[in-house]
Amino acid sequence: MRALYIHADSMEFEAKDKTKVAEEISDNLRNGKMDEVLVVFVTVESGDESKIAYVATEASKDILAAKDRIGAERVMLYPYAHLSNDLAKPKASIELLDLLKDMIASSGAEVTRAPFGWYKAFDIKCKGHPLSELSRDFKGKEEKPAPKGKDTYFVLTTGGEEVSIEDYRGGSDCLRFMIDKEALGKEAPSGGEPEYLRLCRKFGIQWEAMSDAGHMSLAPPGAMMFDLISDYATAIVNNSGINVYNVKGTNMFSLDEPAVKEHADLFGDRLYSIDTGKKKFILRYAACHQQFAMIKNWNISYRQMPFGAFEVADSYRLEQSGETMLCFRTRRLNMPDFHVLCSAMPEAHEYFTRLDGKIYDEIENIGRDYDMLVNFSSRKAFEDNKDMVRMLCEKHEKDALIHIYPEGINYYWTVNIEYHMLDQMNRPREIGTVQIDVGNAERFNITYADEKGEKQHPIILHCAVIGSIERFMYAMLDTAVQIEKTGVPGYLPTWITPDQVRLMPMSEDFVSAAAKTAEELRAEGIRVSVDDTDATVGKKVRRAKQDWCSYSAVIGENEVGSGRLKVYVRSENKDIEMTADELAFRIGHETEGYPVRPMYLPADLSKRCEF
C-alpha cells in the first residue's frame, strides 16, 4: 500500500460520477470536509490482497504517529489510484480502507474516508511546513513463523553415510574443531594474542582509532597487498570460464524500496543504518543490492544464461565491537562478490560444483586446505542437494559437517557451504563461500525470457572464491606464521611481497651500480628497493630480512666485476648465486598469472618515512 500524507488547513471533496468499480454510498457521504487534518491519499496494491490485516495494522500505527508528530486534529483517508500502476482488486481495496479507518477510530481519533471508485473534485490547502508532505510504502510484513524443532548437525561421509556427531570418530583436526564449535558450542581456549598480528604491525595493517570499531587502515605495504589481492580476486572471476559483467555501484540503499527492506530484514541487527531525517538507508551487507538492482533492468534471454556479475564491494556488518578481529572480522569489509545467474537447478548444480573447485584451488595455491560446513535451509533442501554435496565430499576426499536449520522458516537460499581452514590458534576460520539462492530473483523482479518467450526467475549463485579481501589477507598471514613453526623463516608468496627484491650497496661507491641493476629488474615488472642508507652491511642485511623481502643481495666490487649476485632467497633460507637476468626469470616464473603493481613506497630507503 502506498500513501501520501498532506497536513492541511482544510480538505474538502465532492463525489461527482461513478466509475465501473465504484462502491455504493448514500447521498450524505458524497461530500466531506475537515479542518486541521492529516489527509492520507491511499493506493492499495495487488500485493496487499493476501495480507490486508498486516498492512492496515502497519499503516494505522504510522498514520497515528504522523498525526501526533505534526499536531493534526483529525484524519481523512482519500482513495487515490495514481500512486502505483499495480492496483489491488476493488473488493480488497475497500476492505483494507474500511479496516484502516476502524483501526484509526479505535484509538479515539476522528477519522473519515472519501468514497472508493468515484470521480471526485477536491480542494486542499496544504500547510507547507517541512513535514507537511510525506510519502509511505507499507508492505505489512507478516510475523516470521517460529522455527519448528532444533538445529540438526551430523557428518556426511565421502560414502554418503549420515553419522551422528556422537558416533563420529574420523575427520581432520579442522573438522573436529568445527564440530566442537558449531554443533557442540565449545569455543577453543584462548591462547593469548594471535601471532599474525605481529605481521599486521610489520606491514602497517591496523585499526583506525578515529573511526568506528572494526574499521581498518593500511600503511603502504598493507595497502599494496590489499590492492593486489583485489586485483587477483577480479582476475579469478574473469578467468573462470563464465561470462562476467563487471560492475561498480553505491553502498547505500533506501529502506523505502520494498526489495531492499525485505532483504535487509534477513540480516537483522547486523546492518549499518543511516537516518537522514527524511529517509532511512542501509549500508550494503554485500554486493547483492547493487548487482540485483542493476540486473532487474536488463533484458535477458535464455541464450545468455548462465552469466555472472562481479564487484569488489565495500560492505558493512555491525559486528559486536568485542568480537572484531583485525583482517578477519571487521565492520567494513571488501567482498569480491560473484553472482552467477542460472536458468534451472541442474545448471545451478553444475556451476556450484565448478565454483567449489575454484575455491579449493585458490586455498591450495597458498599451501592450505579446507573443511566444509554445509548449511541447509530445511531437511527438504538437504534431500534435494545431498547427491551434489556427497559428490563434493568424494572429490575432495573429505567428510563434511552438515547443519540443517529448523523447519518452518522460508529462507531465500537452500544450500550454503562455508569453507573453513584451521588457523594458528586451532580455530576454524571461514574464508570462501558459495550458496544457492532461490528467492532474491523474485524479490528483486529479475527475470529472463525462456525458449517460449515466457518470463522466468533465474536461480542465483552467490560466491566469494577467496572470501573477503581482508580474510584472504588473513589466510596468507596465518600461513606465514604456520611456516615459521616449521623452523624456517616465514615468507609470503613473491607476487604479494611489498619488497620483492632488496639491493644493498656495500658502500656509497656502489649505490649507482645498485640503482642500475634495480632499473633493469623494474623493467621486468619487479618491485625493487635499494638500501642507500649509511647503515653497515650487516644492518642492511638484517633489515631486509625484517622487511620480509623475498630476495636480497649485497652489491660490492665482486658483484660489479663478475655480474653475478649472491642472492638470499627467503623461501629457501639460503644464498644462491645468480645473475640479475636469472633472478628476473625466477621471479617471473613465480609470479606468472598473478597481478602486478608498482611499489607503494619510495624505492630508496633513505627517502622512506617510518610508520
Q: What tens digit of pLDDT does each residue of 177-186 get?
A: 999 999 999 8
Single out the residue of 193, 221, 196, 216 nearest to residue 547, CA to CA: 221
In this model, does residue 505 exceed pLDDT 90? yes
Determine which of 8-17, 100-109, 199-208, 265-274 has the lowest per-residue pLDDT on average: 265-274
In this model, does residue 146 exceed pLDDT 80? no
In this model, does residue 143 exceed pLDDT 60? no
Express each pLDDT in 516-546 by its tens digit.
999 999 999 999 999 999 999 999 999 999 9
Distance set, CA 358 to CA 370, 463, 598 (Å):
12, 10, 28
Q: Which three cell numbers stand for residue 174?
A: 579442522
Q: How confident is the model at residue 51 (pLDDT cuts 50, 70, 90)?
A: confident
Q: Residue 128: what pLDDT?
A: 86
Q: What is the mean pLDDT of residues 460-471?
A: 98
Express each pLDDT in 215-249 by its tens digit.
999 999 999 999 999 999 999 999 999 999 999 99
Residue type at 26 in one-letter notation:
S
CA dihedral 158, 161, 166, 170 (to 10 degrees): -20
pLDDT above 70 covers a percentage of the chain that reads 98
Which residue, chain included where needed, has cell 665482486? 558
Q: How confident is the model at residue 147 (pLDDT cuts 50, 70, 90)?
A: low
Q: Residue 141: what pLDDT?
A: 62
Q: Residue 267: what pLDDT?
A: 74
Q: What's the sign of the alpha-carbon dihedral 118, 119, 121, 125? A: positive
- Residue 270 has phi, psi (to 5 degrees) of -90, 5
Express each pLDDT in 249-290 by its tens digit.
999 998 888 888 877 777 777 888 888 887 889 999 889 989
Q: What is the mean pLDDT of residues 308-335?
A: 94
Provide the H-helix boundaries in 49-146: 52-70, 90-106
User: How many degrees, rounded to 5, is the angle at CA 369 between CA 482 and CA 489?
Assistant: 20
CB proximity list for 364: less than 8 A, separation 6 or greater: none
Residue type at 552 in one-letter notation:
S
Q: How confident is the model at residue 27 (pLDDT cuts 50, 70, 90)?
A: confident
Domains of the chain: 2-137 (3.50.80.10), 152-182+286-302+315-477 (3.30.930.10), 494-607 (3.40.50.800)
CB 133 within 8 A of CB 6: yes
What average pLDDT does the chain have? 93
Residue 220: asked if its preceding bond is cis (omega within 30°), the reply is no
Distance set, CA 325 to CA 111, 191, 196, 320, 322 (Å):
54, 15, 11, 10, 9
CB proximity list for 65: less than 8 A, separation 6 or greater: none
Q: Which three cell numbers stand for residue 78?
A: 482519500
In this model, does residue 85 exceed pLDDT 70? yes
Q: Residue 142: what pLDDT?
A: 54
Map residue 386 onto helix, strand or coil: helix
Q: Which three cell numbers stand for residue 264?
A: 535487509
Single out the residue of 385, 261, 237, 375 nearest to residue 311, CA to CA: 237
Express each pLDDT in 432-462 by its tens digit.
999 999 999 999 999 999 999 999 999 999 9
CB proximity list for 229: less than 8 A, separation 6 or greater: 466, 469, 472, 473, 496
Q: How confident is the model at residue 192 (pLDDT cuts 50, 70, 90)?
A: confident
